[in-house]
Amino acid sequence: MQSKTTCKNNTNITPDLFTFIEPGTMDADLLTRPSLSYWKDAMRRYRKNKVAMAATLILAIIVLLAIFAPILSPFTFDENNWSISNQGPTREHPFGTDNLGRDLWVRCWEGARVSLSIGVLVALVNATLGILYGGISGFVGGRTDLIMMRICEVIGAVPQMLWVTLLVIVLKPGFLPIILALSATGWIGMARLFRGQVFSIKESEFVMASRCLGTGKLWIIFKHLVPNAISPILTSMAFAIPGAIFAEAFLSYIGLGLPLPLASWGNLSSNGANVFLTYPYQLIFPSILICITMLCFTLIGDALRDALDPRMRK
């Protein structure tokens, strides 16, 4: 028997070419990286997106100012002072004053409360109605799904802003009527989105097992289908908020927004547009706040879409 082993390429393999390792000296069973759940991994990827983190920080600052700026200011949003009407930005009035001498700094942040509240509430109402409608349509299927989707197509055939304008005129302008008008047709997109998700999930084994146990349809929708389709729902809601803010601003701009002296970014922009050539700051400040807020929500929505997509995981 030969003491050496010869490979095909005529290279001699000898024992001195190897290093002997004692048993138990290596932790071979240790994981190279900690195990992460779906949501922890999504948050990790979201935090790596520097643009999204910057947008989140800016949006947080806007929300904090909307909450505390009117409280800490010595002025109120409806306090008139004719002696300082149409005064430019000063240390006492950082955003200047309007034609009635009201402090625009306070009015802008008071308007932020209203505009952000409308955007968030509209997104929540649209998500709730869309999940219920789309979930029932996709889960039941058949003729029920056909009829429910035809109803959506009939409603969606009319431009949304026309529906909104007509409903606001009928209900009279106000905080609640604007939310109802924007939610009247805004849920259709969410319903179609969730219906598609239901079709891809409802034949899964865990859903079939739940149905065999006699679980009700609504329980299956909210217990099984919604959690598994939450990523596109959250992304859609993030994009719906800036859309609702812009819609409220448009309604206020054409005179169908909140009644005076209530403040929103929309009616502040509308009032500033009337005197833009003379006092441009009255339009510039609320318009900048609208643009920054909508941009932040859009960037956050893009980041959520990437972070919640399992195919983007590395």
* Mean pLDDT along residues 82-109: 85
Which pLDDT score is estimated for 24? 55
Which pLDDT score is estimated for 34? 60
Q: Which two tokens stand for residue 261?
A: 């002296």
Q: Which helix (H) or strand (E) holds 12?
A: strand 12-13
CA 306 to centroid of chain Cα atoms: 14
Which pLDDT score is estimated for 60? 93
Rounded to 5 degrees, φ, ψ at 288 are -65, -40
Which pLDDT score is estimated for 32? 53
Amino acid at 50: K
pLDDT at 66 over 50: yes
Instruction: Please state the domain extents for the chain.
Output: 49-73+105-312
Which pLDDT score is estimated for 57? 94
Comparing 34-48, 110-124, 128-142, 181-195, the range with the smallest average pLDDT is: 34-48
Confidence category of residue 140, pLDDT binned at 50, 70, 90:
confident
Residue 247, classed as helix, strand or coil, is helix
- CATH H superfamily, domain 49-73+105-312: MetI-like (1.10.3720.10)
- Convert the pLDDT of each residue in 10-46 to its tens digit: 567 777 777 766 665 555 555 555 666 667 777 888 8
Q: Which two tokens stand for residue 41?
A: 């991994």
Round the average pLDDT of the chain to a whole number and report it. Answer: 80
Alpha carbons 115 and 299: distance in angstroms, whole number = 19
Nearest alpha carbon to residue 62 among 283, 240, 268, 265:
265
Taking the alpha carbons at both ends of the chain, their separation in whole angstroms is 51
Query: Whose structure tokens read 């997106």?
Result: 49
Instruction: Read off the pTM.
Output: 0.77
- Convert the pLDDT of each residue in 241-283 to its tens digit: 888 888 888 888 777 777 777 788 888 888 888 888 888 888 8
DSSP state of 224: I
Which pLDDT score is estimated for 54? 92
